[in-house]
């Protein structure tokens, strides 16, 4: 498949100066991030804007300080509240599916703010991100990090993720980091024509499912087996 030429991964309008100040040293350095990007390239994440966003985003800020040295391993990590920060490959795969739609990412809905890392990636690609989280302390912690990084195009809500954000619909893209038994109809209804949705689906066995809304109906993609936290109803203060 060949090796990636990092010089071809053009920077986006980010990083902000705050990104540059948070680059880290040692196991959290840019060199460590570049090794991760090279690995993702080999595994099939090839969209330049997605790789650019992931290359500059300081993932170590979104995990506990004790786990910072593992932040650029291609693995999920715990973030508390029985939640995890997703494996970088899965973040790349889901974001790439949305970015390959061929239409600009205007408004994007994220179901499950979690650590805020996926939010940071989306915020660099979209005009605006509307992120919903059911666990209030998680979103509060994520918002503090995202604000520090100068990502000011993000809107936050504590809510049941299956409801989406109807007032801000339609969305050019929808991404969920929680797995329902079936895709909620409410989310499909909030997807704009030409837009894409990506989310894990299933309980004991999960598949990463992509949906594209066409004038002729919905086109479904099976992106492979995954393991995410289940989508739960209600909110936790």
Known catalytic residues are 86
Closest CA to 188 of 178, 180, 196, 179: 196
Sign of CA dihedral 183, 106, 52, 55: negative
Pairing label, strands 154-158, 191-202 = unpaired
SS3 for the chain, per residue?
CCCCCHHHCCCCCCCCHHHHHCCCCHHHCHHHHHHHHHHHHHCCCCCHHHHHHHHHCCHHHHCCHHHHHHCCCCCCEEEECCEEECCHHHHHHHHHHHHCCCCCCCEEEEECCCCCHHHHHHHHHCCEEEEEECEHHHHHHHHHHHHHCCCCCEEEEECCHHHCCHHHCCEEEEEECEECCCCCHHHHHCEEEEEEEEEEEECCCEEEEEEEEECCEEEEEEEEEECCEECCCCCEC
In angstroms, how far apart are the furthest CA atoms of the chain?
51
């Amino acid at each position: 498949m060949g090796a990636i030429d990092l010089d071809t991964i053009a920077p986006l309008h980010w990083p902000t100066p705050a990104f540059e100040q948070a680059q880290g040293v040692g196991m959290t350095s840019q060199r460590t991030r570049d090794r991760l990007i090279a690995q993702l390239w080999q595994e099939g994440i090839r969209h330049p804007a997605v790789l650019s966003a992931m290359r500059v985003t300081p993932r170590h800020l979104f995990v506990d300080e004790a786990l910072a040295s593992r932040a650029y391993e291609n693995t999920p990590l715990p973030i508390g509240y029985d939640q995890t920060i997703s494996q970088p490959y899965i973040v790349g795969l889901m974001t790439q599916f949305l970015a390959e739609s061929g239409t600009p990412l205007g408004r994007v809905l994220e179901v499950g703010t979690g650590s805020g890392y996926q939010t940071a990636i989306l915020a660099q690609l979209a005009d605006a991100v509307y992120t919903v989280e059911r666990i209030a302390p998680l979103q509060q912690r994520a918002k503090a990090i995202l604000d520090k990084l100068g990502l000011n195009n993000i809107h936050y809500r504590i809510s049941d993720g299956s409801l989406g954000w109807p007032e801000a619909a339609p969305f050019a893209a929808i991404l969920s980091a929680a797995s329902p038994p079936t895709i909620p109809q409410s989310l499909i209804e909030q997807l704009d024509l030409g837009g894409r949705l990506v989310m894990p689906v299933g309980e004991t066995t999960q598949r990463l499912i992509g949906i594209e809304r066409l004038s002729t109906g919905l086109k479904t993609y099976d992106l492979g087996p995954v393991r995410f936290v289940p989508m739960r109803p209600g909110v936790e203060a």
